[in-house]
Amino acid sequence: MKELIRTNNPALLSYVEALLKDAGFSYFIADQNISIVEGSIGAFPRRVLIAEDEEDAARRLLSDAELARELRPRK
């Protein structure tokens, strides 16, 4: 899986999830359960991961939604 976005912003995370889900992408939100450890203070960013073969299309989708500046660099 490839990392698309890393954020502490719950509104951004929700928006990205909605975009990916509506477009039919397979994605995973990593580090969601760390809030139990951190006490829900938002200190640890959540990572949006996408299947490697869907990365290009997902990046285009988020760029079209004017979220290009939120995208992590390709690795």
CATH number at residue 37: 3.30.70.790
Domain for residue 75, yes or no? no
Q: Give the pLDDT of residue 35.
A: 59
pTM: 0.85
C-alpha count within 13 angstroms, C-beta hemisphere, residue 4:
30
Per-residue pLDDT of the chain in tens (75 residues, 90 and over written 9) = 999 999 989 899 999 999 999 999 999 999 877 756 666 666 788 999 999 999 999 999 999 999 999 999 997
Q: How many domains does the chain have?
A: 1
Domain for residue 63, yes or no? yes
Domain for residue 61, yes or no? yes
Domain for residue 43, yes or no? yes
In degrees, rounded to 5, the angle at the alpha carbon of residue 11 between the alpha carbons of residues 65 and 35 is 135
Domain holding 6, by residue range, is: 2-70
Calpha distance 68→5 (Å, rounded):
10
Domain for residue 39, yes or no? yes
Which residues have CB under 8 Å from 52's CB, separation 6+? 1, 2
Q: Give the pLDDT of residue 71.
A: 97
